[in-house]
Amino acid sequence: MSSAKPFLPWMVWGVAVALYAIAIVNRSSLSALGPVAQEHFGIDASTLAAFPVIQLLVYAVCQIPVGVLLDRHGATVLILSGSALMFVGQIVMATVTNVELAILARVLVGAGDACTFTAVMRMLPEWFKPRQLSTLGQVTGLIGQLGQLVSVVPLAFVVDRFGWQTGFLGISAAGLLSFLLAAVVLRDAPGKRTALERLTRRTGRITAASESLSAAATTTVTMAPPQTSLIPVVGGARARRNGRSGRESFVMRVRRLLSIPGVRLAYWVHFVTPFSAHAFLLLWGTPFLTGGLGMTPAAASGMLSLTVISSMIAGLILGPISSRFIERRVLLVIWVTVLIMVTWLSVILWPGMPPGWLIIALVVILPLGGPVSMIAFEVARSHTPRSFAGFGTGLVNTGGFTSALLLVMLIGVALDLQGAGSPETYTLHAFKIAFAVQVPLWVIGLTMIMIERRRTGRWMERHGRTLR
């Protein structure tokens, strides 16, 4: 058993990250199917955009409640609940042709997806040492991108060859198998029981023997988190006098966290980095490549695959870099965001059809925002008290999905306003105007990062804090 114990953290992480990859498949299942979905449901661009927008809205809204539940009930319960919700959602998506029911399916998928990533990230510090967390966070995101790749190629192939229902029922089957595996493997922390062990009220030998691994969990932050006493408590004494601390605890927790500049900085890092890639990969990439640039569906799938592969390679590179240059990780965020913005503006402002090399540069550079967004969770972990870990991760995770849902909807509205809201009416000019709505989001995000970065530096100096 002693030889098996060191393997247990990797087994737990492997199953957790596999469920995250399945969650990405569920999240991005429409990424290469935009035109197919429009034909299947008979909808325009704004209605098509409503699918991922509502899904992302549910995801973002659920993040803070999920964080609270995560701190209260643990990662395993949240991961399994999310898997079950996505399973039901994709069953509905596979079997209905009514738009309202299909939107309900995306609501279920969004809620289930919301439970997964935050819980997986919360589980990592319980099983691994501080120096491993940055790289593991990037590798977790990288493996999750495999789910994106599944949506871009195999799922699109299955739907094309065997039909809409077969494709989405296949996703549901994979979700069910991963749920069963998680029920017998996942543990919140060393010594904690699996879901099956809780159900049967029996503790297995592996779980009992893993108790000795918990020593690693006592030193699992990249910076000693600020003591709770350093965070202003607004109304705490009054709440205790009135006996209403339970009712006011949620608001108080939000105010405590947002009083820390580093948490606000983490939020804006996540806000500004991934939204362009999300909008491209979740919905608008295929319509732009086929309807705007005139590519064949096969060529568009190849471009989307290149986008995902670029993201995965970037994840391998950026993890060690952010660990090595911890003091400059926010500067890395700024430079990558500017690079993405400049590349997009080059495509938008190019007169006529952009050259092939520029489109390839776009699909390679665009996805860098995804891996870079993981730095937000490193920043959050450096500034969030341990008792707020799940809550803080959920709060920060709302950033990128709030900006993404705004962008997805704004692109759809911009296309419809130009009379280019269906595969028959798509034009390159209309797409250029539609994708230009990204610019205000970049400006807002970068401005807030500059402001909060300075505030965080002053806060750390005032409290004698240093990153390590």
Mean pLDDT value across the chain: 81
pLDDT of residue 325: 67
Enumerate domains of the chain plus CATH numbers.
7-463 (1.20.1250.20)
Place of tokens 């006011």: 248
**41 closest CA partner among 100, 86, 91:** 100
DSSP letter assigned to residue 202 = -
Q: Residue 433: which residues within 8 A CB-CB, separation 6 or more?
A: 414, 418
* Distance of alpha carbon 51 from alpha carbon 64, whole angstroms: 22
pLDDT > 70: what percent of the chain?
A: 85
pLDDT of residue 68: 78
Report how far apart the first and last C-alpha atoms of the chain are (Å, whole number).
Answer: 34
The DSSP symbol for 436 reads T
pLDDT at 271: 93
What are residue 29's phi and psi, to 5 degrees?
-65, -15
DSSP 23-58: HHHHHTTTTT-HHHHHHHHT--HHHHHHHHHHHHHH
pLDDT above 70 for 178: yes
Residue 28 contacts residue 81 (beta carbons within 8 Å) = no
pTM: 0.69
The whole-number pLDDT of residue 214 equals 60
Lowest mean pLDDT among 115-119, 215-219, 310-314, 335-339: 215-219
- The predicted pLDDT at position 210 comes to 66
Residue 361: is its pLDDT beyond 90? yes
Residues with Cβ < 8 Å from 225, sequence gap 6 or more? 381, 382, 383, 384, 385, 386
Is it the case that residue 468 has pLDDT exceeding 50?
Answer: no
